[in-house]
Structures are given as structure tokens and as C-alpha cells.
Amino acid sequence: MIRMLDREEFEHISITELCREAEISRITFYSHYSDKYALLDDIFNDMLILGTADYRRRQKENNQRNGLVAGYVNVLDSILKVYYDRFDFFRHTNPDKNPYLASRFYSIVLETVELHTSHVRRHLRLKYSPKKIAGFVCFGMFGFINECHEEKTSLEQIRKEARMLLTDLLRSGVLTEHEGDSGRQAGESDFKA
């Protein structure tokens, strides 16, 4: 699937072509997947497992006190790690070329950030619902990273600037009930952005 995405858009890939490329029969394909969307979901699920494991490791290593900024930066870093480690696949999530892939990718990231925000809500009073915060943070970051790609920003610079932007936003207190105090309340003294 990933090799084929180099040549054509997802919507135009047929099961017959996919089986030919993978050198398997249609019977073999259908014994594992109901359609190409199920195969795609399997690819995304594998990446989600990798990202979740990386996030948990980061939380254990540098956010034992459940700091607001550190937690969100760990989510961002985990997503960016999987995204760029598997850029051979994720570069095809462009909404203009592959709207289904883009939509699926965005929904997974939104769900991930919303889940993290729901955990944050246990420690801090948030001004907005986890769904609204996830939408705001995710679509802002997607836009920021896309603009970085347009400007040919290096991968290291993208990571650095995205972390700074997210850190500044969260430390501003704009999302929490106690503005300007969110860092100290959430144990941020342990985290260096």
C-alpha cells in the first residue's frame, strides 16, 4: 500500500492492483481484510501503538508529576516522532491528494489529544471541554507544521518551534481556570521546554 501511494492516490488503488503489488491472491487479502480501508486502519493502528508506547515512556521519564506543559509536549513529541520516522507513509496524508488518509490521520491525532486532555482534567480545571481543546491545539499544530514544510524548515527546527509554540500557549493559562498559574499548579518546574 505504501509503495503504491508513491504512484497513485489512495482512492484509485484497487484490491486487484494491491494484491498484484504484494504478490498475494485476493483470497489471501480478504482473509485478513474486508477492504482497503481495513488495511489502512491496520497501518494506522500499528503507528498508534508505537506512538502510545513512546508517549508512555516520555511521561514516565520526564512527567511523573503530571505537569500540564510536559504532558502536552510529550504528546507532541510522540506524534512527531512517529510522523517523521514513518514519513514514507505520512507524507501521503495530504488532504488535497488523499482526503481519506488525511481525515483518518487527523481523527486519530484528535482522539489522542482529547484522551490526554481528559486525563489533564483530573488535575486541573479547564476552561473548555477536552474535545474543544484538542481541536484547537491539533488544528493549530497541523497548520503550523504544514507552514513549516512550505517554508522548507528543517525537521529539528520544526520540532523546536512547535514545542516552543505549544509551551508558550499552555503556560499562558489560556486553557485553565487559573490563568498564569497553570505551570506551578501542574508541577512544571520539573520540565524544560
Confidence of residue 175 (pLDDT cuts 50, 70, 90): confident
Residue 21 has pLDDT above 90, yes or no: yes
Rg (CA), the chain: 19
Q: Identity (one letter) of the amino acid at 20?
A: R
36 touches 15 (CB < 8 A): yes
- The pLDDT of residue 177 is 79
Lowest-confidence segment of 56-60, 154-158, 172-176 by average pLDDT:
172-176
Once rounded to an integer, what is the mean pLDDT over residues 93-115?
93
Give the span between the Cα atoms of 114 and 12, in whole angstroms: 32
Q: Give φ, ψ of 120 to 5 degrees.
A: -60, -35
**Cα distances (angstroms) measured from residue 36 to each of 15, 33, 40, 162:** 7, 7, 6, 33
Percentage of residues in the chain with pLDDT exceeding 90? Answer: 78
Q: Where are the beta strands (DSSP E) in the chain?
A: none
Once rounded to an integer, what is the mean pLDDT over residues 66-77?
93
Give the span between the Cα atoms of 20 and 160, in whole angstroms: 42
